[in-house]
Amino acid sequence: MTKWMLNVILSIDFRTALSQFAAMTETTRPDSILDAAFQAFASYGYKRTAMDDIARAAGMSRTALYLHFRSKEDIFRSLGLRYFEQALRDMEAALTRPGQTREQALYACFVAKDGKFMEVVLTTPHGSELMDAGFSVTADLALGAERQIVNLIARWLDTQGVPATLAPATALAETIVAALKGLKSGATTLDALRTGEARLAALIARALA
């Protein structure tokens, strides 16, 4: 299987998963459950959080919770879907907001990509465990979302005009996403992550200029 075929499959699978999640929200509206689950995971960590904890945080019985979600893993994956969907939407809004410099647009895009998840990872005792759970439980979703993010940044780069001597827009977008992953994995505080993201935004903006 070629890299192109894999990217197509990941893209289709991610869009299908998002569509299924959207259909579910129309009928069950589980956002309040997911909000409660997010707080429970942040408070207790992924391993220690039980369905009872999530049900209690959501103000419902465990039986009622099972009507919406099959398991803790199912809830965590649904949180992942919601996070990636929101991140993509917020990143596009950040890049296309009028009246910004390239550096400002890129930095806003990077912060939007993090969402609330990285703030929890870097400011709570269970952050590293949640990060590990994200890698193991939502790895396939993350791969699909990453391809969407690369495409989004590449489209924006095309509108800015990437110097021919620098790189094709898609290759540069892949480099940016790889750099963001490196910053995220190496950051020990939220301030350190933001500083690194600001530095990367400045570097890319100057390269485009």
- Copy the structure tokens of residue 96: 């296309």
pLDDT tens string 92-134: 999 999 999 999 999 999 999 999 999 998 998 988 899 899 8
Task: Give the pLDDT band of residue 2 (cuts 50, 70, 90).
Answer: low
Confidence of residue 45 (pLDDT cuts 50, 70, 90): very high
- pLDDT above 70 covers what percent of the chain? 86
Architecture in CATH of 3-208: Orthogonal Bundle (1.10)
Contact in structure between 149 and 88 (CB atoms under 8 Å): yes
Q: With 60 as the cut, is the pLDDT of residue 7 above it? A: no
* CA dist list (Å): 143 to 73, 85, 102, 138, 170: 18, 13, 27, 9, 16
For 64-94, the pLDDT digits (tens) are: 999 999 999 999 999 999 999 999 999 999 9
Is the C-alpha dihedral spanning 179, 45, 33, 135 positive or negative? positive
